[in-house]
A = this chain, B = another copy of it.
Amino acid sequence: MRIVLIGCGVVGQSFARILIRREAELAKNYGFHPRVVAMVDRGGAAVNPKGLDLEKMLSVKVEKGTVAASREYGRLAMSALDVIESVEAEAMVEATPTNIKDGEPGLSHIKTAFKTGKHVVTTNKGPLALALPVLTELADYNKVYLKFSGTVGAGTPVLELAKKCLLGDRIVSIRGILNGTTNYILTEMDEKRITFQQALENAQKLGYAEADPSMDVDGIDAACKLVIMANWIMNKKATLKDVDVQGIRKVTLQALEEAAKRGCTVKLVGSINDNLKVKPTEISRHDPLSVGGVLNAVTFVSEFAGEETIIGRGAGGMETASAILRDLLDIKHNLATTLIA
């Protein structure tokens, strides 16, 4: 499988590292022979139709700041869209940063990949939160796959658990702690009895929160993930504007203390029932959803199999990259099945 990799940040580089480390096993266990024929970052592109030497490209990236600095294969003037349009490949891996204003540049990358017949694996929540119903239709129309396991739960297979492990059953509702940063802040407030502001500053010092923490603390990141689950798992045609979102800025120490008296704690819970909601919610400390620190947790309520909760780290470069690899293997498997049929 020839792959175009757009975005060489932490996730993109981790993906390249996994491909290097698992080359032999992927060939042996799955008959999977990935060849990254192009890599693109903010500085330009590197292209080799025979497959780039990933080890070398990672060195160039680290030393020179851009893969376009490669002497043999660098293309300083080449944009991501140029690459997606002109380089022959079966799949595009899109790992540029999330932008929830207009979904760009990810949205254009994905649409262009579809148009040129490339399957898409993305870890970018922006295009999905804004336009997942449309993108799903476009993928169908162009007869390509759109996969995005890494967008919810990073390496933790939240979407796969729901879609692959509950065959024949029906998921009737979902609730989850979908953002590690806010969960860390709430856990710190609860355990150390510090204010939101103090906990936020700690999280920023540790690198868990951005300088502008709005995506996390205002619940937007969690809302994006909720939209993705609503579409993919529950067939709801929802986008970000359909989510009733409330962040954690107003959660007080007092609220946490009151909750504690009832054997409860306050978590930022995203829920899908009739409506999509993200808001600070009091839950029992005995609820499997009540996880601490940066962990994420999602509970699926199914008709027959009961309630299942999956817990894991919801972030991390290697973790997210492992989800990209899963998606590519899934596409390979689906193609094998469909081509034969």
Contacts and interface: CB of A to CB of B under 8 A. Distances in A.
Interface residues of A, number: 51
A207 interface: no
A310 B308 contact: yes
Given A165-B165, A326-B166, A319 B306 contact: yes
Contacts of A169: 322, 325-326
A89 interface: no
B164 A160 contact: yes
Contacts of A295: 288
A161 B156 contact: no
Contacts of A157: 161, 165-166, 305, 308
Interface of A is mostly: mixed
A134 interface: no
Contacts of A321: 304
Contact of A323 (B305, B318, B325): B305
Contacts of A87: none
A256 B312 CA distance: 27
Contacts of A323: 305
A309 B308 contact: no
A183 to B, nearest CB: 12
B168 A160 contact: no
A308 B313 CA distance: 8
Interface of A: 18, 22, 25-26, 30, 32, 154-157, 160-161, 164-170, 286, 288, 291-293, 295, 297, 302, 304-313, 316, 318-319, 321-323, 325-326, 328-330, 337, 340-341
Given A160-B165, A161-B165, 18 more contacts: A18-B304, A22-B168, A26-B168, A155-B308, A161-B310, A164-B164, A167-B326, A168-B322, A168-B328, A302-B322, A304-B318, A304-B321, A304-B325, A305-B312, A306-B312, A308-B311, A309-B312, A311-B311
